[in-house]
Amino acid sequence: MTDTAVSSFLGCRTCQTLVPVPLAVAGEFQDDAGDVLLSISEFLREHQFHPIAQFRKSGADTLADLPLWDPLATLRFEISDGSEVYVATCIRTSVDEPRSFRFAPGRLPAQEAELELDFGDLRRSLDLEFYPHALRPTKVDDLIEVLTDRIGRLDADSLDIAFDVADDPCCSVAPMPPDTVEAVIAASARIFDPWELDKVSRFLRDNSREDGLLALRIRRRSLR
> Is residue 158 pLDDT above 60, yes or no?
yes
Task: Kindly report the backbone phi and psi dihedral angles of residue 73, in degrees, each rounded to the nearest multiple of 5, phi listed first.
Answer: -65, 135
- pLDDT tens readout for residues 94-105: 888 888 999 999
Across residues 126-149, what is the average pLDDT?
Answer: 94
Across residues 107-120, what is the average pLDDT?
Answer: 84
Residue 4 banded pLDDT, cuts 50, 70, 90: low
- Cα–Cα–Cα angle for 110, 117, 207, rounded to 5 degrees: 125
Beta partners for 217? 116, 173
- pLDDT tens readout for residues 207-219: 999 999 999 999 8
pLDDT of residue 170: 75
- Please state the three-class secondary structure of the chain as a single string: CCHHHCCEEEEECCCCEEEECCCCCCCCCHHHHHHHHHHHHHHHHHCCCCCEEEEEECCCCCEECCCCCCCCCCEEEEEECCCCEEEEEEECCCCCCCCEEEEEECCCCCCCCEEECCHHHHHHHHHHHHCCCCCCHHHHHHHHHHHHHHHHCCCHHHCCCCEECCCCCCEEEECCCHHHHHHHHHHHCCCCCHHHHHHHHHHHHHCCCCCCCCCEEEECCCCC
Final residue belonging to a domain, choices 56, 75, 105: 105
Is residue 133 included in any domain, yes or no?
A: yes
> Is residue 141 pLDDT above 80, yes or no?
yes
Same domain, 91 and 178: no
Report the candidate in 11, 39, 42 with the shortest Cα–Cα distance to residue 104.
Answer: 11
- Domain span holding position 169: 114-219
Residue 175 banded pLDDT, cuts 50, 70, 90: very high
pLDDT of residue 83: 93
The pTM (predicted TM-score) of the whole model is 0.60
Q: Mean pLDDT over all residues of the chain?
A: 87
Same domain, 118 and 56: no
> Is residue 135 pLDDT above 70, yes or no?
yes
Give how many domains the chain has, as a whole number: 2
- pLDDT tens readout for residues 21-79: 976 544 444 555 567 778 899 999 999 999 999 999 987 678 888 877 788 889 999 99
Residue 1 banded pLDDT, cuts 50, 70, 90: very low
Is residue 224 included in any domain, yes or no?
A: no
Is residue 42 included in any domain, yes or no?
A: yes
Is residue 35 included in any domain, yes or no?
A: yes
Is residue 121 included in any domain, yes or no?
A: yes
Spatial contact of 10 and 43, defined as CB atoms under 8 Å apart = yes
Final residue belonging to a domain, choices 105, 129, 160: 105
pLDDT of residue 25: 42
